[in-house]
Amino acid sequence: MEDIIKTVTEFGIALLEKQHKFFLDGSIDNSEHVSAIKRIADAAYGYLKQKGVNLDSAKKVKKELINHGKDLFVAVWMISEEAEEPLGEEDRREARRTFDELLKGE
C-alpha cells in the first residue's frame, strides 16, 4: 500500500505543478485555479479509497496535495510587481485566507 500512496502523491504533485503553470499563463483566475487544486486532491483521495487505502492515509495525501497547491498559490501572491514596498507577513496571511475562502467556496 505504501507504494500506491507514494505514487499517487507524486503524481498529484506533478499535476498540481502543471496546473500552476497553466494558472501563471493567465488562462484562469484564482477561483478556477483553487477549484482545480481541490479536484486533483479529491481525485487522489477517491482513488486511494477505491484501492482500499485506509481513510487516514487517503486524507493525509489529500491534505498534502492541497497544502502544496496552497504553497504555490501563496508564493505567486507574494511576488507583486505593483507593490511599492516589499510584501510582508500580513500579505502572506491574506493570501492564505483567500486560498482557504476559495477552497471552502467549492
SS3 of residue 86 by DSSP:
coil
Output DSSP code: residue 54. -
The C-alpha atoms of residue 92 and residue 59 are separated, in whole angstroms, by 25
pLDDT in tens, 60-104: 999 999 999 999 999 999 886 666 677 889 999 999 999 999 999
pLDDT for res 102: 96
Q: How many domains does the chain have?
A: 1
Residue range(s) defining the domain that contains residue 34: 2-104
Report the sign of the C-alpha dihedral through residues 14, 20, 24, 26, in that order.
positive
Helices H, strands E: what count in the chain?
Answer: 4, 0
